[in-house]
Chain A
Amino acid sequence: MAEITRLIHKYLRHDKKFPHVWCPGCGNGILLGSLIRGIDRTGLEKDDIVIVSGIGCSGRISVYVDFNTLHTTHGRALTFATGIKLANPRLHVIVIMGDGDATAIGGNHFIHAARRNLNLTAIVVNNSIYGMTGGQYSPTTPYGALATTALYGNIEHAFSIAELAVMAGAGMVARGTVYHASLLDDLIEKAIMKRGFSVVEVISHCHTQYGRRNLMGDAVEMMRRQKESAVKIEKVASMSEEELQGRFTIGILVDRDLPIYTHEYRKIREAARAAPSRIR
């Protein structure tokens, strides 16, 4: 059996929920492929994996994959994931969110999940726009870009999801693109196996809602831009400021060993069992 057929049969609800809702050329399909390839490489059992997603185009991924899946409320995916992981630390919890989902409505949950360093994997699909609702500007829409709620140009400044995660204290932070699909496979595999809170920012494109309005061409043209703008982390040191202007880094940005929440909580349990009860 061809590798792709094996993966589809093993990991997708191919006989239940397809065709999917995404536009032809959407980056979500490439991410879905990377996700199941990355998971397959980890060798984890399907029963031990929980996919939690938020609301938006990327949120639909949870419907299509054959794991324990949870499609939450908008922006709250990480909070549900926190409860699942604490209740059953044996489970591998992978959270998939969009840029608006994770950093606008869910921004508070995002930084606090990173700060706690729970052993979760957060994948943030960043297409710079609210796609499902029709192209409104998000926290990652560039300054000056056009959106259906910024017809005169966006006057807000975008922030970097990966850098936000680094500053908030995540154990591992990586950035990839849907163009660099095989790198993305690697990043997702490493993020799942990382012991601690791992974030993978996935630079994607929304040619339907963002590219079209900003005259950036079709899906292929937008992916070409990803190829041209991305700089592998290994090459950054050898490049000048000017060369890096307007470009972004891909690869593992940070990988550090920090105390993991569930391990710390084990100590709390031991202390609590040893302490004389104040109530009995």
Chain B
Amino acid sequence: MIPKKSPGRQVLLQGNEAIVEGALAAGCRFFAGYPITPATEISEVMSYRLPAVDGTFIQMEDEIASLGAVIGASLAGVKAMTATSGPGFSLMQENLGFACVAEVPCVIVNVMRGGPSTGLPTHVSQGDVMQARWGTHGDHPIIVLAASTTQDCFSVTVRAFNLSEKYRTPVIILTDEVVAHTREKIYIPHQEEVEVVDRIRPNMPPDWYIPYEDNSRGVPPMSPFGEGYRCHVTGLIHDVRGFPTQRPDEIVAFMNRLFRKINQHFFDIQTVSEEHMDDAEIVVIAYGSVARSARRAVKDARLRGVKAGLVQLVTLWPFPRQIVEPLLRRVKAVLVPELNMGQMSREVKRVNQGATRVETLNRIDGSLITPGEILNRLMKM
């Protein structure tokens, strides 16, 4: 809803453009990318928006380089982002792991298209849900958010930057070709209405600064290069001073903190949006463009007397178990429609542990799941 006498503005945008607006509102001032459909508009709009606000845009030689430059910019103290689609996201996995282990805040947008490989450019898909979770090698926590509408693209991007800064972690935004290219009216709040979180910087003298020292939040303060703290940043497992270590006690302490800083803040990170859930007996769990079809299907099912509800996942990873699990215990059946062979439904089933009936509705032909398809299944459940 748009507040009356709002100082914000209403604009006609597509999802990709709304992501740019969200990023700029969140304080993003650096973008590095490589052309790929259906994410290219994000680069294009960034290339003319960023220099106007003293930011920097650069088109790199590939997606590996794009994320490298983004990490470098963030280490120099500037909020940074890149955007790509499946093939480019695969190339980014190496440096994504670096950002996880060196705890460098940054945002990566993956506008999903059909895969594997060159796959189905530029048809819609949700095939990268598991890659976003596990794509880079080694154990690591990650935050992945999904946007479903053009309005979402704005707000989810702001949130992605805020979480990334707050927890010193890369945050991945998953959208898809339909979300990216749907053009609709959205409300962009005035800059003063946008909550912006910045990373915590060290307030002690440089000699006292221990760059990776644990604290109650599990997130150490971060100093940008060039401000006197002269620390070492590495992709190797490191001790509290940032230097490589092979000591088991230091490795365990580091890895545990890496996970703890996300795990102990589950409630802050996990977001879902619920509709008609008060008395719902049959629930659709959906995300991205499919959540939009599901919203309509749930409304239509209600008109036909079926007590349907919708849980739209905004946070995909860490999976919002604390919210989904109690819900599974109180409803009669759950439908998980998605544009893949069943990536998120697998997680729902894992959490469900057989408590309720979980059905899947999968489409992998490059077309959107329609409200009618979901409605048909709801009426049969």
Contacts and interface: CB of A to CB of B under 8 A. Distances in A.
Contacts of A84: 72-73, 75-76, 225
Interface residues of B, number: 55
Interface of B: 9, 11, 13, 17, 21, 29-30, 32, 45, 48-52, 54, 56, 58, 60-62, 64-78, 80, 94-95, 98, 224-236, 241, 243-244
Nearest to B61: A112
A87 interface: yes
Q: Is the interface of B mostly helix, strand, loop or mixed?
A: mixed
B52 A277 contact: yes
B333 to A, nearest CB: 45
Contact of A90 (B30, B45, B70, B226): B226
A232 interface: no
The list of the 8 closest CB pairs from A to B, nearest first, reads A83-B72, A79-B68, A83-B69, A272-B51, A87-B76, A87-B73, A83-B73, A71-B234
A192 interface: no
A88 B233 contact: no
Interface size class of chain A, counting residues whose CB lies under 8 Å from the partner chain: 35 or more
Nearest to A80: B72
B72 A68 contact: no
A94 B230 CA distance: 14
A68 B243 contact: no
B60 to A, nearest CB: 7
Interface in A94-118: 108-109, 112
Contacts of B233: 69-71
Given A87-B30, A108-B62, 17 more contacts: A47-B228, A70-B225, A71-B235, A76-B65, A76-B68, A79-B69, A80-B71, A80-B75, A82-B65, A86-B72, A87-B77, A88-B224, A91-B76, A91-B225, A108-B61, A109-B64, A272-B52
A271 interface: yes
A72 B51 contact: no
B69 A80 contact: yes
B230 A67 contact: yes
A16 interface: yes
Contacts of A83: 30, 32, 68-76, 80
Interface of A: 16-17, 46-48, 50, 52, 62-63, 66-73, 76, 79-88, 90-91, 108-109, 112, 265, 268-269, 271-273, 275, 277-280
A109 B32 CA distance: 14
23 contacts: A17-B243, A47-B227, A47-B228, A50-B225, A63-B243, A69-B230, A70-B233, A71-B234, A73-B95, A79-B64, A79-B65, A79-B72, A80-B69, A82-B32, A83-B72, A84-B76, A86-B30, A86-B56, A87-B72, A87-B73, A109-B68, A269-B54, A279-B13
B226 A88 contact: yes
A87 B56 contact: yes
B235 A72 contact: yes
A268 B47 CA distance: 10
Contacts of A90: 226
Contacts of A91: 76, 225-226
A79 B72 CA distance: 8
A121 to B, nearest CB: 15
Contact of A279 (B11, B68, B235): B11
Nearest to A81: B72
A84 B50 CA distance: 17
A88 B76 contact: yes
A112 B94 CA distance: 20
A52 B241 CA distance: 17
B152 to A, nearest CB: 19
B232 A63 contact: yes
Contacts of B29: 87
A50 B67 CA distance: 19
A88 B78 contact: yes
A277 B49 CA distance: 8
Contacts of B69: 79-80, 82-83, 86
Contacts of B77: 87-88
Nearest to B52: A272
A109 B69 CA distance: 11
A35 B228 CA distance: 20
Contacts of B56: 86-87, 265
Contacts of B236: 71
Contacts of A86: 30, 56, 58, 69, 72-73
A64 B152 CA distance: 46
Nearest to A115: B61
B243 A48 contact: no
A144 B11 CA distance: 65
A88 B74 CA distance: 10
Contacts of A79: 60, 64-69, 72
